[in-house]
Chains A and B, each alone.
Chain A
């Protein structure tokens, strides 16, 4: 099952030159590998290990979360809204599952 990713811009339609906050939420349990289930067995680690953000094909940020990131993690960046473009987020977890989402940034 692919990882579901949500992308939101705040403000949704920024003016040119304004700072825009890019909020990314990935729906993932982010199992750190230290927790135990009811019978005392250690749950194997399964967390997102890599998340990349590109803008019009150019890499703008890359996150490498360790096991110490919360479930359904939020990743928020700030950038200058100089032009409209397509933001693409891709991620990969330790089990090899991937997720992908594109969002269009439009200027007011």
Chain B
């Protein structure tokens, strides 16, 4: 192989590698580990009558969950909304890959928009907190939880 051909070939390889790394980083930002939107959509329709596209991702919802859970049978979850207490109607929580994606629903009427509990997560999947406001908006926060031992089997 002469010098010119080698340069052309290596330039192509480098460009390809850069493109690939950009793609994977875009994926890492866009999709969470173990995402299963089809199953989640089913649960959302059943509980809220809304689809995933009707939810707005919001910084006002704070979801605290471990990134790695040793046992899926006992995952502590904490949800807090940065909204006035009288604007929040309910808090829902979903997990993408559970047989029944709805983990719980809390209807608040007089307490601060905060709820903490422990949930079961079947396998590595995002946990999603959905805060329902009085004016009919659904605010979403998601976090992926990596599960080593499933909690539903």
Task: Point out residues on A near B: beta carbons under 8 Å.
Answer: 19, 22, 32, 34-36, 53, 55, 58-71, 73-80
Contacts and interface: CB of A to CB of B under 8 A. Distances in A.
A68 B121 contact: yes
A69 B100 contact: no
B152 to A, nearest CB: 5
B147 to A, nearest CB: 12
B11 interface: no
What is the interface of chain A mostly: helix, strand, loop, or mixed? strand
Contact of A58 (B100, B105, B110, B117): B110
Nearest to A34: B152
Given A64-B105, A74-B118, 4 more contacts: A34-B99, A34-B153, A68-B121, A79-B112
A75 to B, nearest CB: 6
B104 A77 contact: no
B109 A59 contact: yes
A34 B112 CA distance: 34
Nearest to B80: A78
A71 B73 contact: yes
Interface string B74-118: 110000000000000000000100111011111111111011111
A67 B100 contact: yes
Contacts of A70: 73-75, 117-120, 151
Closest 8 CB pairs of A and B: A60-B110, A76-B116, A70-B118, A68-B103, A78-B114, A78-B112, A79-B111, A62-B107
21 contacts: A34-B99, A34-B152, A53-B111, A59-B109, A60-B111, A61-B110, A62-B107, A63-B106, A65-B117, A66-B102, A67-B152, A68-B102, A68-B120, A69-B104, A70-B75, A70-B118, A70-B119, A71-B74, A74-B116, A76-B116, A79-B110
Contacts of B111: 22, 53, 60-61, 77-79
A35 B103 contact: no
Contacts of B95: 68
A89 B107 CA distance: 14
A29 B137 CA distance: 35
Contacts of A22: 111
Nearest to B118: A70
Contacts of B109: 59-62
Contact of B110 (A55, A66, A71): A55
